[in-house]
Structure 1
Amino acid sequence: MSEKNRDGNRSARERLQQQREREKAREKQRRVLIVSAAVVGVLGLAAVVGVIAANSGKDGGSDKAGPVVAPSGAVGDDKPAVPTGKPDAPSTLTIWEDFRCPACASFENAFRDTIHELEATGALKAEYHLVTIIDGNMGGSGSLRAANAAACAQDAGKFTPYHDVLYTNQPAETDDAFAKNDKLLELAGKVPGLDTPAFRSCVEGGTHDSWIAKSNDAFRKGDFRGTPSVLLNGESIFPQKENEQISPENLKKWVAEANKGKKAGTASPASGG
């Protein structure tokens, strides 16, 4: 075979390889778009934006100095969290979220009732890791201030209802309303028995700021795409688990599958649940 023919064959093989690589890239992009479209259907456009973009930006409060004061009943050393539900429930839902994150609010509004139901039956417990990514991305301090207030609510045994109130009253992402303690205290009035002198002192003094910063640092060091990051027994389930899209029905199914042959939890709920 002549040198010219060999060069021609080599060029043809190179072009074929390049074509295959372009096709693989297009297929990968197509799969991403399919997943994104599915997320839109379940949680709305905000979820796609949050999943893709929430992990970019600055530290968002991770430089807070001072002693780390964990709220009552907190769990985790290197990965601090607020636990809810019965401590001996056989399955654990791990949620990393930011109170300013629109995608997190979309997730909470879609799955809140299902999570509460599974917790009530002892099938599931949850661990909430509070982060401040949006403060880093957008500027401001609302993520940190709201997270500290939620930790203060945990001290009062009111984490779950206050957590839910914050998400159902979430301002627009560009509106740093949660940076104002007055707003956080106003919303505390929607939770019976929460607005006490001790709670106000905790909120206004930033008692748990360094603990929140530690949680945010753990998030940034982890292998997460953004907020919310949701795992069931350590396996990522948002926006999908393997080839199944997340939904309230699928969450119940996945928990039932994971709990097969195991006893439901019966211990008293964790403080704040």
Structure 2
Amino acid sequence: MSQKNSSEAKRTARERMQEERAAQEAKTKRLRKFGIIGTVLAVIVVAVVIGVLVQNSRTSSYDAATQAPAGTIGTNKLIIPVGSSAAPSTLTVYEDLRCPACGSYEKSFHTTVNQLMAQGKIHVNYHVVSFIDRNDNGSGSKNAANAVACAQNVGKFHGYHDVLYANQPDETDDAWADKSKLITLAKQVPGLDTPTFESCVNNNSFGAWVTAVQKDFDKSGYTSTPTILLNGTSAYPTYNGEQISTANLIKWVDAANKGKTPATISPSASAALVSPNASPSAAG
């Protein structure tokens, strides 16, 4: 081999080694980059998993077996029933006790609804939500929902429910942030204002239940209160194209019940349903 060819061979080998070294360094950089990206992704995945676990722990913190008021119904005991379950029609009510439209509905229809229950034609399933607090950073909706749960726990929901609506503050006035006002209103329901009830209100004993009811509402697809359903069909502000009124509500219930037997209601239970504050045995 000539000296020239030998020099060229050495240069070619040297260049090849440099190219290989450069390629190896580039590969190393790529691997290091991918390693960093992989680490970041792993951290993100771990964070997401932790977030999901935390959220699941929050949503599963409610235990229906031990934290629901007595007499509540449904899969997770989030519903407060009033009236006979043997009644052929069901009125479902989603309400926030601070909601002015709910107050308007109750003031206009509670007498008619109570009479329909007393006649054994309907029973009412109440979902007591508390989203107004979330919108204005208040606490009155949650306090009131807990208070009616305390009343439900001793069989006095119906009477206390009507008292709260009869004394509902303006929506902009978070009056029930003061729990003593809820306790004072309980004096209007015979037999409700007891040390047990006061402790239940002051200690927020059914707070987990109140939160669970609100979460259920958030997942329901309904977005406002009152949401009123007659046998699963929206009845507020209209039902099958007709505007709601006391006369129409009676007509709708009678049409839905055609050919069906009303529930048998005892005279004392009927009286309690019509005037739920008149007797300590008010239905709940």
Tell me the TM-score normalized by structure 1. 0.73
In 2, Cα distance between equivalents of 1:272 and 1:146: 19
Match of residue 162 from structure 1:
160
Q: Select which of 260, 263, 266 maps to 2:261.
A: 263
Shift, 1:202, TM fit:
1.1
Shift, 1:161, TM fit:
0.9
- Count the aligned residue pairs: 212
Match of residue 170 from structure 2:
172
Shift, 1:72, TM fit:
1.1
Q: Secondary structure at the match of 2:125?
A: strand
Answering whether residue 141 of structure 2 is matched by residue 143 of structure 1, we say yes
In 2, Cα distance between equivalents of 1:66 and 1:225: 23
Match of residue 104 from structure 2:
106
**What is the CA deviation profile of residues 1-28 of structure 1, one whole-angstrom value per residue up to 9, with x for unaligned ones?**
xxxxxxxxxxxxxxxxxxxxxxxxxxxx
Q: 2:119·2:265 contact (CA, 8 Å) conserved in 1?
A: no
Match of residue 125 from structure 2:
127
Shift, 1:89, TM fit:
0.5
Answering whether residue 90 of structure 2 is matched by residue 97 of structure 1, we say no
Match of residue 231 from structure 2:
233
Evaluate the alpha carbon distance shift between residue 184 and residue 111 of structure 1 in structure 2; reply closer, same or farther with a 3 A threshold. Answer: same
In 2, Cα distance between equivalents of 1:93 and 1:64: 28
Q: 2:62·2:212 contact (CA, 8 Å) conserved in 1?
A: no
Shift, 1:197, TM fit:
1.2
Match of residue 208 from structure 1:
206
Tell me the TM-score normalized by structure 2. 0.71
Bigger radius of gyration, 1 or 2? Answer: 2
Q: 1:93·1:127 contact (CA, 8 Å) conserved in 2?
A: yes
Shift, 1:67, TM fit:
4.6
RMSD value, Cα = 2.0
Match of residue 16 from structure 1:
none
Shift, 1:79, TM fit:
6.9
Match of residue 86 from structure 2:
88
Q: 1:98·1:131 contact (CA, 8 Å) conserved in 2?
A: yes
In 2, Cα distance between equivalents of 1:66 and 1:88: 29
In 2, Cα distance between equivalents of 1:232 and 1:150: 23
Q: Select which of 65, 75, 78 maps to 1:77.
A: 75
Q: 2:62·2:209 contact (CA, 8 Å) conserved in 1?
A: no
**What is the CA deviation profile of residues 197-221 of structure 1, one whole-angstrom value per residue up to 9, with x for unaligned ones?**
1111111111111111111111111
Match of residue 150 from structure 2:
152
**What is the CA deviation profile of residues 92-148 of structure 1, one whole-angstrom value per residue up to 9, with x for unaligned ones?**
000000011001000000100000000000000000001011101122110010011
In 1, Cα distance between equivalents of 2:150 and 2:283: 10
Structure 1 spans left out of the alignment, 5+ residues: 1-61
Which piece of structure 1 moves more, 111-120 or 190-199? 190-199
User: What aligned pairs does 1:50-61 form with structure 2 within 5 A after superposition?
Assistant: none
Question: Which one-letter code corresponds to 1:167 in the other structure?
Answer: Y
Q: Secondary structure at the match of 2:224?
A: coil
Q: 1:79·1:218 contact (CA, 8 Å) conserved in 2?
A: no
Where relative contact order (Cα < 8 A, 6+ residues apart) is larger, the structure is 1
Q: 1:63·1:213 contact (CA, 8 Å) conserved in 2?
A: no
Percent of pairs with identical residues: 50
Q: 1:154·1:272 contact (CA, 8 Å) conserved in 2?
A: no
Which has the larger helix fraction? 2
